[in-house]
Structure 1
Amino acid sequence: MPSKVYGYVRVSSTDQNEDRQMLAMAAQAVPLRNIYVDKQSGRDFNRPEYKRLLTKLREGDLLYVLSIDRLGRNYEEIQNQWRILTHQYSIDICVIDMPLLDTRNGKDLMGTFIADLVLQILSFVAQSERENIKKRQAEGIAAAKARGVKFGRPPCPLPDNFFEVHTAWRNKKMTLQQAAEACEMPVGTFYGKAVHYEKTHNFDVMRKNL
């Protein structure tokens, strides 16, 4: 039975577009029916289309990926999957944007050594880049918060009767449950709003009202 050509495409979320990877597969003449696309994180290999692809692979088949980080972004896991595909499934892999990572070339000892070395370097770089992106995002968020930038949904405005109800609750003329119902809020929401209101107005929070 002749060997087949497959392609694997991954984008990290449903909001990203896979067109660039699909065009690269078309340039390699990969049949559309043999291209498997996952739209989710590369944190692990529990991906439905990747799993379907594995059930189709046979010894001698060829798998195209556009770049090494399409297999995943974890340094150790990328190498493990590479070994599984090349040794357990006995297929060839071609990383389109890195010609040195084409197992069809240099199947002698030196070629294998070079491919393994490049794989280790690239998978390490992919993981490092991901970690650096996360670090820069965290630093950017911290800097923005320091400038007073607010994240998340804006708080809902207090109902018109909140001050009156809050005063009655603090004076023990209403229970917490009654106060929350009067403001049409869950009990926890009312209490949280009350705590915030009291802090911003220099009141002592009296937890005994719970």
Structure 2
Amino acid sequence: MEYGYIRVSSTDQNENRQLVVLRGKGIPDRRLYIDKQSGKDFDRPKYKRLVRRLRPGDVLYVLSIDRLGRNYKEIQEQWRLLTKEKGVEICVLDMPLLDTRQGKDLLGTFIADLVLQILSFVAQSERESIKKRQAEGIAAAKARGVRFGRPPRPLPDNFYEIHTAWRNKKIVLRQAAEACGMPEGTFYAKAIKFEKKEQSTAINL
């Protein structure tokens, strides 16, 4: 049986290019496995399901070695698991030397192993480079004042009235939080922030 494995790094990336190539090899969709997550390790649900499905003599197609993964050591381990322990053939489509159906003599095996090590190293180096660029981009954005994460939820319409009652000790914290529909810790944090803002405004005036 022939199978295909596809990986993109996140849910907003497009797997169509890999799909087109693997479908072009005649692999039906029911034997195509797609993960949308990082290649830092092999803890991926569809990949695990694929490995359980594979049997000796099956052929696994991937477009490139970095679609299999981006961790040098783990790529080597998974390659050994699939080819040695499970008896599966692997074909990396953009690198003909990484086709375990070919060159099974000593020299062919040596060359394939060497190419695998080099490409695995490159895949991990690219991942580390991507992470570094992302970190630098985030740091630069923060320096420009860009905020990340979810925008803060607006305060409920009755917050100011409830806050005044709480500050004047007409109600306790639990009652104030319930009236605003938020946990006590959230109400308290927002109340402190609001009071600091009020103080800052008063000083500036």
TM-score interval (norm. to shorter): 0.7 to 0.9
Aligned equivalent of 1:103: 100
- Partner of 1:107, secondary structure, is coil
Query: 1:100 Cα deviation (Å)?
Result: 2.0
Following the alignment from structure 1 to structure 2, what is the Cα–Cα distance between the partners of residues 33 and 154? 40
Of 77-86 and 174-183, the range deviating more from structure 2 = 174-183
- Per-residue CA deviations over 1:82-139 (Å, capped at 9, x if unaligned) read 1111211223211011122122332222222221121112112212222222222222
Following the alignment from structure 2 to structure 1, what is the Cα–Cα distance between the partners of residues 31 and 180? 59
Residues 162 and 35 (structure 1), Cα distance of their counterparts in 2 relative to 1, 3 Å cut:
closer
One-letter amino acid matched to 2:195: E
One-letter amino acid matched to 2:182: M
Residues 32 and 151 (structure 1), Cα distance of their counterparts in 2 relative to 1, 3 Å cut:
closer
Following the alignment from structure 1 to structure 2, what is the Cα–Cα distance between the partners of residues 83 and 143? 41
1:169 and 2:201 correspond: no
Identify the match of residue 116 of structure 1 among 113, 117, 125: 113
Runs (5+) with no aligned partner, structure 2:
201-205
Identify the match of residue 147 of structure 2 among 145, 150, 173: 150
Following the alignment from structure 2 to structure 1, what is the Cα–Cα distance between the partners of residues 57 and 180? 69
Aligned equivalent of 1:57: 54
Q: How large is the RMSD of aligned CA atoms in angstroms?
A: 2.5
- Per-residue CA deviations over 1:64-92 (Å, capped at 9, x if unaligned) read 11111222222111110111112112232
Following the alignment from structure 2 to structure 1, what is the Cα–Cα distance between the partners of residues 122 and 28? 31
Identify the match of residue 125 of structure 2 among 121, 125, 128: 128
Identify the match of residue 91 of structure 1 among 88, 100, 110: 88
Residues 121 and 22 (structure 1), Cα distance of their counterparts in 2 relative to 1, 3 Å cut:
same
Following the alignment from structure 1 to structure 2, what is the Cα–Cα distance between the partners of residues 137 and 172? 48
1:199 and 2:196 correspond: yes
Residues 183 and 59 (structure 1), Cα distance of their counterparts in 2 relative to 1, 3 Å cut:
closer
Runs (5+) with no aligned partner, structure 1:
204-210
1:26 and 2:23 correspond: yes
Following the alignment from structure 2 to structure 1, what is the Cα–Cα distance between the partners of residues 112 and 173? 68
Greater per-residue helix proportion: 2
When the two structures are superposed, what TM-score results if normalisation uses the length of structure 2? Answer: 0.81
Aligned equivalent of 2:182: 185
Aligned equivalent of 2:75: 78
Of 155-164 and 139-148, the range deviating more from structure 2 = 155-164
The within-5 A match list for 1:33-44 is 33-44=30-41
When the two structures are superposed, what TM-score results if normalisation uses the length of structure 1? Answer: 0.80
- Partner of 1:7, secondary structure, is strand
Residues 182 and 51 (structure 1), Cα distance of their counterparts in 2 relative to 1, 3 Å cut:
closer
Query: 1:202 Cα deviation (Å)?
Result: 4.0
